[in-house]
Structures are given as C-alpha cells and as structure tokens.
C-alpha cells in the first residue's frame, strides 16, 4: 500500500510544484481566471482512508472535462453500449478536443466521448424529463462516488460557460443537422455547462478515482457503477483522457486519468488507488502542468503504470 510513505509523497509534491510556473490558468471565463496559479494539491484514496493530501487539498474547483467520464458512465448505465456507441465512436484522435473538421469527414459521428463533440452527444443521452432531473441524476451518481451528499454545481461558472459556449453550440448544431442529437441545443448546452460546473475538491476526486479503480465499487463493496462500465471508462481515460497529450501521458505515466481545464485531474490505478489532483496552471493542450509532473513522479516512484 502506498500510504505509509507519506513523507516521500510530500517530497514529490514539492518537486512538482515549481512546474506550475510554466503553465497558465484558463482565462476564458472570469471564474476560472481567478484561480491561484501556483497551487498544487493532491489526495490519494486507497479505500480505507485518504492517506495523503498535500497543499490546498480542500480547495473547491469545477470538474470541467472530468465530468465527461462520469456522464459517459451514466449514459452507459442508462442505455448500454450499443445505444451509446451508435452516437459516438471509440477511437482516439490526434486532433484538439474542440475540433470540428473530423466531424465533417467521418459521417458526423464524433470519434470518442472525451472530445467535446462526443461529450455533447453523450450528455444528450442522459435520461430525465428536464435539465434539472438529468443534472440531479448525474449529481446523485457523483455524490455516491464521493460519499459526500453536498456535491452540487457552481451557478456562476455554469452561467459564464453557457454564455461563452459558442463553439460547443456550433458542434451541437452540426450534430443536430446530422441527426446525432435531436434536442434543443440551448437546453443541451444548459445541462452540459452545469455538469462541467460541478464542484469538487481533491478528496472528492480521489474517491471518484477509487470507485473507477475498484471495478465500480466503493470502499464498502457497494456497486456504484457496473464493473464493465468502470473498465470501459478507464480505457477511454488511457486512450483519450488527457486531450491530445494522451499518448505521451500513457507513456510517461501509464495511469488512467482525465483532466479538466480547471486544473483538476482524476486518476484511477486499476485494483489499487484513486488519485485527485488540483493545479490550475495549464499547458497549451489544457492539462495541469504541475499535476502531470506529479502524476509522473507518483507513477515512477510507486510503480503505478499499467504497462
């Protein structure tokens, strides 16, 4: 077990922290821009206790793209693989996460659920009579994973994201034209931006990662996500979880992980631990610079690579 080497972990965090200076906080909405560039926080959960947390590990941040893995899990629980993968592919892509060009060349079906187009198509599938009901269902899932009933979303962030989501609207209308989605685009965007604005801290992420690592069960053995879906989600985290750095990340780190532009990263080491990281300074691909460095150090020191 990892936790007994607490001092070593602290040391790894200190070594990774300075890399934050090489990154840049996301600034396309004010709520993200005001994050503290220098922060690096981490929590690790092994199913018994949060055995380590460094830095501002109780700082709240929004899930952003990390929500994509959770919405995917819920959509698969709602509909099964056949329906979901009729709307979205399974292949990684060398294109940026917000690319629209590939949609045009490939019969309009997004290549995978981790790029924006694919995530919109997946969100579209979430069951519920209203945005509120769909969001509540997603929140219920996340609250169970986090074992924290108070998880909710940040209204200010959601509103800001909604107001600046023109590229996502463009992707959504393109898919509506090609019948990948058939609901009102602004309704879908409302749901999508709210799910991106769900707030967590590093402890929450570590617990989410643990459930995925642990075959979908929480530390008490309760199944929150079916085993097959938890595995499928981890696979996507490896092949396309870190935007178009996923290939390099798999080589350097080898841990199923998903990042968001808020600077969060969730990691899930199969049959082992969950990891939550927060470091808002991003590289040009949109991943936390210091967070990736820390994950690389953790993987190397504790032999966490799946390869």
Residues assigned a catalytic role: 65, 68, 192, 243, 261
Question: Residue 105, exposed/middle/buried by CB under 10 A (0-12, 13-18, 19+)?
Answer: exposed
The answer to whether 203 touches 43, Cβ cutoff 8 Å, is yes
- Angstrom distance (rounded) from CA 264 to CA 277: 5
List the one residue from 232, 261, 295, 304 that touches its own copies (CB under 8 A): 232
Residue 82 found at the interface with its own copies (CB under 8 A):
no
Segment contacting its own copies by CB under 8 A, of 8-16, 47-55, 95-103, 144-152: 95-103
Minimum Å gap between C-beta 237 and its own copies is: 9
List the one residue from 56, 199, 270, 301 that touches its own copies (CB under 8 A): 270
- Angstrom distance (rounded) from CA 304 to CA 301: 8
Segment contacting its own copies by CB under 8 A, of 44-52, 65-73, 142-150, 229-237: 229-237
Q: Mutual orientation of helices 227-240 and 202-213 as an angle, nearest 10°?
A: 120
Minimum Å gap between C-beta 124 and its own copies is: 14
Minimum Å gap between C-beta 60 and its own copies is: 28
List the one residue from 7, 48, 94, 150 that touches its own copies (CB under 8 A): 94
Determine which helix (DSSP H) or strand (DSSP E) holds 231, and give its type and residue range.
Answer: helix 227-240
CA-nearest of 192, 48, 179 to 120 is 192
Minimum Å gap between C-beta 167 and its own copies is: 4
Residue 87 found at the interface with its own copies (CB under 8 A):
no
Residue 102 found at the interface with its own copies (CB under 8 A):
yes
Segment contacting its own copies by CB under 8 A, of 19-27, 88-96, 127-135, 139-147: 88-96
| 65 marked among binding-site residues | yes
- Angstrom distance (rounded) from CA 68 to CA 237: 10
Q: Where are the beta strands (DSSP E) in 221-263?
A: 257-259
Which residues have C-beta within 8 Å of that of residue 243, sequence separation ≥ 6? Answer: 65, 96, 97, 259, 285, 286, 287
Residue 90 found at the interface with its own copies (CB under 8 A):
yes
Question: Residue 267 — φ and ψ, nearest 5°?
Answer: -120, 145
Sequence length of the chain is 307
List the one residue from 10, 59, 78, 95 that touches its own copies (CB under 8 A): 95
Torsion from C-alpha of 193, 147, 20, 192, nearest 10 degrees: -10
List the one residue from 97, 174, 191, 302 that touches its own copies (CB under 8 A): 174
Residues found near its own copies in the complex (CB under 8 A): 89-95, 99-106, 111-112, 166-167, 169-174, 176-177, 185, 231-232, 234-236, 238-240, 244-248, 250-251, 254, 256, 270, 305-307
Annotated binding site for substrate: 65, 116, 161, 168, 192, 243, 261
Annotated binding site: 65, 116, 161, 168, 192, 243, 261
């Amino acid at each position: 077990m990892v936790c007994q080497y607490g001092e070593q972990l602290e040391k790894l965090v200190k070594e990774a922290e300075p890399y934050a200076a090489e990154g840049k906080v996301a600034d396309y909405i004010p709520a993200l821009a005001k994050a503290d560039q220098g922060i690096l926080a981490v929590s690790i959960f092994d199913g018994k206790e949060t055995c380590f947390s460094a830095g501002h590990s109780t700082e709240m941040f929004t899930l952003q793209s990390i929500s994509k893995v959770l919405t995917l899990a819920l959509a698969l629980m709602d509909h099964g693989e056949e329906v979901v993968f009729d709307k979205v592919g399974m292949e990684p892509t060398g294109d940026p996460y917000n690319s629209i060009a590939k949609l045009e060349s490939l019969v309009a079906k997004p290549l995978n659920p981790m790029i924006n187009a694919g995530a919109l198509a997946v969100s579209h599938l979430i069951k519920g009579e209203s945005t509120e009901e769909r969001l509540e269902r997603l929140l219920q899932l996340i609250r169970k994973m986090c074992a924290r009933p108070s998880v909710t979303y940040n209204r200010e962030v959601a509103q800001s994201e909604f107001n600046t989501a023109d590229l996502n609207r463009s992707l959504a209308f393109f898919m509506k034209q090609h019948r990948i989605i058939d609901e009102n685009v602004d309704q879908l965007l409302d749901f999508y931006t709210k799910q991106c604005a769900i707030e967590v801290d590093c402890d929450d992420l570590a617990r989410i990662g643990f459930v995925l690592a642990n075959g979908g069960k929480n530390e008490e053995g309760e199944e929150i996500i079916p085993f097959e879906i938890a595995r499928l989600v981890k696979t996507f985290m490896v092949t396309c979880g870190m935007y178009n750095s996923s290939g390099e990340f798999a080589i350097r780190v080898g841990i199923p992980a998903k990042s968001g532009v808020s600077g969060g990263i969730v990691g899930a080491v199969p049959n082992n631990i969950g990891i939550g990281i927060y470091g808002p300074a991003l590289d040009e691909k949109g991943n936390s610079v210091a967070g990736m460095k820390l994950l690389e150090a953790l993987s190397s020191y504790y032999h966490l690579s799946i390869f």
